[in-house]
Amino acid sequence: DQQVKQNSPSLSVQEGRISILNCDYTNSMFDYFLWYKKYPAEGPTFLISISSIKDKNEDGRFTVFLNKSAKHLSLHIVPSQPGDSAVYFCAARNNAGNMLTFGGGTRLMVKP
């Protein structure tokens, strides 16, 4: 099942710089997209969501961009902090229900 794909397994960024995490999807029936952060031995923590009718949503240091024609979304974290080091998952909801389909995750490492 490759409906949601995160092609970069890892990303390393310097503290204070921008982190850009990418996600691609194939299913046109997705109506909401979400980003989650996960630390080891914890559950996914909800960060930010975006409706498929929007192209940008911002919450503090986190901004999600959606390019519907390219079926691509990205999460920008500015400025990056060492505490942001975690695995980030992109997820999408099919408009037929509430099931979330997850990508494989990207491990972000923010170096002091």
What stretches of the chain adopt beta strand conformation (E)? 4-5, 10-14, 19-25, 30-38, 45-51, 56-59, 62-67, 72-77, 86-94, 100-102, 106-111
Answer for the pair 62, 75: CB distance below 8 angstroms, yes or no. Answer: yes
State yes or no: residue 97 binds another protein (CB under 8 A): yes
If binding is defined by CB under 8 A, does position 32 make contact with another protein? yes
Nearest approach in angstroms of CB 45 to another protein is 7
Strand partners for 104: none
Binding mask 46-85 for another protein (x = CB under 8 A): x--x------------------------------------
> Which residues contribute to the site for another protein (CB under 8 A)?
1, 31-32, 34, 36, 41-46, 49, 89, 91, 93, 97-105
